[in-house]
Amino acid sequence: MPAQLRLQQTLLAQALTAVLGTLAMPVFAGIVTLGAVNPDPSSGIVAGGLAIGNSATGSVRVDGGSSLRTDQLWLGTGSAAGDGTLTVTGAGSSMNVTWAGGGNLDLGQSARGAISVLNGASFVYGDSSAGCQSNCRVFISNAAGSDGNLRINGNGSSFSTLGGVVVGNASVFRIASGDTLDFGTPGASSTASARVEAGAVMSSSFLAIGQPGGGLGRTGAETSTGNVVVDGIGSVWNLVRNAAQVGGISLLRLGTGVNTSGSLDVRNGGVVKLDGSASPGEFSGINVAAIAAGSTTSNAQGNLTVNGAGSRLEANNGIGFMNVGRGNGTTGSLTVSNGGVVSGSGPEAGLLYLTVGNGGGTGSASINGNGSLLRLSGRNSATNSDPTAQLGGGAFLSLGRGGGGAAGNGTMTISNGGRMEIDTTAFALTNVNGQTGMYVGTFNGSTGTMTVTGANSTLLISSGTGMAPYVGIGRDSGTGTLTISNGGRVEVSSLHTSVPNPGASGYLPGDLNNFEVGRSITGAATSGTVSVSGAGSQLLMTGAADAFIQVGRGASGTGTLNILSGGQTRSSVVFIGTESGTGLLNMNGGQMVLDGTVNGGPGAGGGAGLGVGRGGGTGVANISGGSTISISSTSGSTASIGGSGTAPGGNGTVNLSGGSTLTVNSANALIGIGRLASASQAGVGTLTLTGAGTSAAAVGAGAQVLLASGSNTVGTAIVGTGASLSATSLIGVAHNGTASTGGIGTLVVNGTANAANLIIGTTGLLAGSGVINANVTNLGTINPGNSPGRLTINGAFDSSAGRIELEVQSLGGGQFAYDEIVFGDPSQVTMGQATIDFVFLGDTNPTDFLNAGLFDLTTFFKQVDANGAVVDLGSNYRSLFTSALFSASAAQFTVSGFAFDPLTGRTTFSSSAIPVPPSMALVLLGLMAMAGVRFRRHVH
């Protein structure tokens, strides 16, 4: 029957129905065909298959509430001239492809094909049989060289199948060996698109976008490109796992092999849902440009975008996962923006893990804008059959992860109020290898980068009462970078409470809320960097578990922590350079807060702490620009520089400047500089304070600053002009308050040192030209000045068992510089049998000094009078020195027969120049000019 006549009959039937009002419309009333359509579908039922646009242009339109049923359907089959179009439109209009004849539903099998389901119409493909569940496939562009399009538009419009949908495929087949190519064009490109719009609903068991295809006729040059859009409020694509899909699978995959590209754009309130309830204990997830890690080479590309308020991608009722850029040569991207949400839910797991850039792949992820959320949650089921699954493990993010022996490269940016959550607070995780957390740059030389920037931009990692979280920035041959800026926030929290582990070297597995930067377990070179910059920017470790930030841990582990321009970190402990690692802390205008009590591990019951260079590690901390480090607890707060109580040995350096402060506040607070050594590693610590207002203080009952507090330790503190070092109770220099330690301790005070007591142990040295506000006991050596200078001591002074070195330097022309000690209260001075050495530096001739009339106690010892002026020590105090032992030495003169009477100042000795060979004189002159320093006697 001619098409025009059929149309006239249809219109007539519709008119009669409208007039009579009681006559039913025939099912074929709105079926209109044009062009190459075979067989004629106008009866509404086609036995076998229906081909539309086989080798020429053909179209079928089903509307007016009509229905069309066929066993198979092909659009755009046969030659390249094929072009088939099917439109099902209007409420009540329907299309049913039964799959009774088997095969696929092809839109553009070899040429061009398109289906549109519009304005409340419906399309159903397949049945509920196991065969259909496994083999019902909708190919939108199947063969190489084809072009396919699917559009579902309008409220009530739907397309459903229990099978899968492939958008973009490039197969080339032969029927039998030796036959000519009869399916697809070798080396050609396929393009495909699918759109679900304006409240329409699409349902399938999986969605593959950009698939390479198969067939013996492929040359390898074929390309496949697929694009899918889910657009508008109420528009949904449901990916419902069926019973035939066993084991771990990806329900959604974009860019699945060589020369493939796939994109999915969920926008303006559109939703894509993955439903894994058919196998809730198995992986049901998402692959974006993801093939086997490291095992093949591919240029697959995938782009997944969820954009706009109400737009969502959900992984529900199964163990959801997402890989973005996995396998050699792959490139994948994930964008969540302008209020879009990627998340999941279920009785045990929703979206469990996300890997960005894995096993040779490159991946990127962006979460941008207020309301934008990417959420990982839940735990891995104990029934998961995947051999790689961490059963009972928690949600995890990896950026740049090695796999299959290949490096990954992954990046993520959270910006402009975007938010990412990695949350297992609802579960008590039990797998010690499955902690909730994050890797950034780990394994096989991988590189990972995360940026959290802008006010309200947040990364939250949280766990329940089981295992505490773990974060690694640069792990085991990886390079990781985390930047928190412009008000961004990263918080790692746990409901778990750490437990003591006495006598052990560390915490029980999973018992520590652990944030590591540059962590190497394998001994491979590893690097991590964390930067917290800008007002309001924060790295926070919160919750019940002990919270450690460890920077540079393990042999060949190198870490850097930068806290700048108002940035802040908060935790209970920070280690810089630990367990043979190398760590660097840079602070400029930043804030570090360490607080709380350590409940677990070998140091249970202690307070918050900072460790720089411990456990054989090397640590350097540069604190400048008004930065603050605040360490507070009820009891036992510590700052350890060069070895610690739980990890002896190491080399630590802390440089404070520019008005920066280090405050350790608690009962028995401690600043330990060169704290403890191990059997194989000395404990070496240096603290330098530079600039007005710069300070380090141990505050609280029993608070101490100890330099070289154990054997085989070296502790040095240099307090610059305008700076201060303070302890409520004690500053000990090679002395622990009870006994000398045998360590080498040096305290140089050019600013101020404040304490109830300052004790210089037998191997300790006090120097500088500053002020000591403390009761001083000298069992070691006091050497005022840096070169000759004045040291003021306000408080009691006892050097009856110590040594005082008083240096003299010729200025030429009969002028001299010399050391001075000024006593604030000479009545509290005890000299006893102190050893007092007069040391003449450089080319200073002791005889010239004697002839200048300066060899007298009042030259070297002063006092503060009632008006606060510095004056000569009163003659009534000369008797303090009557039991002292005096000696003299000179760098370039031999001094013999030295005798000094402290009561009269009478001095006798003979001196003669030490001959210096001409060549040695030149060497010494050159060294002195280069170094610009004086000779100083070594501490005995």
Residue 349 pLDDT: 75
- In three-state form (DSSP H/G/I as H, E/B as E, the rest C), the secondary structure along 491-553 is EEEECCCCCECCCCCCCCCCCCEEEEEEECCCCCCEEEEEEEECCCCEEEEEECCCEEEEEEE
Q: Is 27 exposed, middle or buried (0-12, 13-18, 19+ CB in 10 A)?
A: middle
Q: Using an 8 Å Cβ cutoff, are 409 and 445 in contact?
A: no
pLDDT band of 930, cuts 50, 70, 90? very low
Average pLDDT over residues 612-640: 97
| Type of residue numbered 753 | A
Return the ∠ at Cα 493 (arms to 490 and 497), rounded to 5°.
160
**Secondary structure letter of residue 128 according to DSSP:** S
pTM of the model: 0.92
Residues ≥6 apart with Cβ < 8 Å to 446? 357, 400, 401, 402, 407, 408, 409, 410, 477, 478, 479
* Secondary structure of residue 858 in the 3-state scheme: helix
Q: Which of 73-82, 323-332, 335-344, 808-817 has the lowest mean pLDDT?
A: 73-82
Residues ≥6 apart with Cβ < 8 Å to 891? 840, 841, 842, 843, 844, 935
Q: Which of 174-183, 435-444, 601-610 has the lowest mean pLDDT?
A: 174-183
Torsion 753-759-761-762 (CA) sign: positive
- Centroid of chain to Cα 469: 13
How do beta strands 31-35 and 57-62 pair?
antiparallel
Distance CA 813, CA 158 (A): 105
- pLDDT tens per residue, range 57-105: 999 999 999 999 999 999 988 777 899 999 999 999 999 999 888 889 9
* Secondary structure of residue 719 in the 3-state scheme: strand
Average pLDDT over residues 42-60: 93
Residue 3 pLDDT: 37
pLDDT band of 28, cuts 50, 70, 90? very low
| Type of residue numbered 603 | G
Return the ∠ at Cα 160 (arms to 155 and 164), rounded to 5°.
135
| Type of residue numbered 834 | A
Torsion 817-822-827-833 (CA) sign: negative
pLDDT band of 613, cuts 50, 70, 90? very high
CA torsion 371→376→377→382, rounded to 10°?
A: 160
Distance CA 864, CA 862 (A): 7
For residue 177, pLDDT beyond 70: no
Distance CA 199, CA 805 (A): 90
Average pLDDT over residues 193-204: 98
The first and second tokens of residue 839, run together, are 């040391």
Residue 636 pLDDT: 95
Distance CA 248, CA 257 (A): 19
- pLDDT tens per residue, range 224-240: 999 999 999 999 999 99
Largest CA distance in the chain: 143
- pLDDT tens per residue, range 697-731: 999 999 999 999 999 999 999 999 999 999 999 99
Place of tokens 């496939």: 137
* Whether the bond into 602 is cis, omega within 30 of 0: no
- pLDDT tens per residue, range 650-670: 999 999 999 999 999 999 999
For residue 18, pLDDT beyond 50: no
Distance CA 833, CA 847 (A): 26
Q: Which of 149, 143, 164, 140 is nearest to 214 (CA)?
A: 143
Residue 294 pLDDT: 84
Average pLDDT over residues 160-182: 81
Percent of residues, the chain, with pLDDT higher than 90: 81
Task: For residue 15, count other CB atoms closer than 10 A to its CB.
Answer: 10
Write the CA distances from 276 to 241, 246, 250, 688, integer angstroms. 5, 11, 10, 60
Distance CA 572, CA 100 (A): 67
Residue 352 pLDDT: 92
Distance CA 212, CA 221 (A): 10
The first and second tokens of residue 861, run together, are 């010892």
For residue 893, pLDDT beyond 70: yes
For residue 387, pLDDT beyond 80: no
What average pLDDT is seen over the chain?
A: 91
Could you tell me the end-to-end alpha-carbon distance of the chain, in angstroms, rounded to an integer?
118
Distance CA 540, CA 493 (A): 8
Residue 283 pLDDT: 77
- pLDDT tens per residue, range 487-531: 999 999 999 999 999 888 889 999 999 999 999 999 999 999 999
- pLDDT tens per residue, range 527-552: 999 999 999 999 999 999 999 999 99
Residue 347 pLDDT: 76
Residue 928 pLDDT: 46
Query: What burial letters (b/e) apply to 55-83, b meaning 16+ CB within 10 Å?
Result: bebbbbbbbbbbbbbbbbbbbbbbeeebb
Q: Using an 8 Å Cβ cutoff, are 538 and 638 in contact?
A: no
Residue 217 pLDDT: 83
Q: Which of 315, 208, 222 is nearest to 264 (CA)?
A: 208
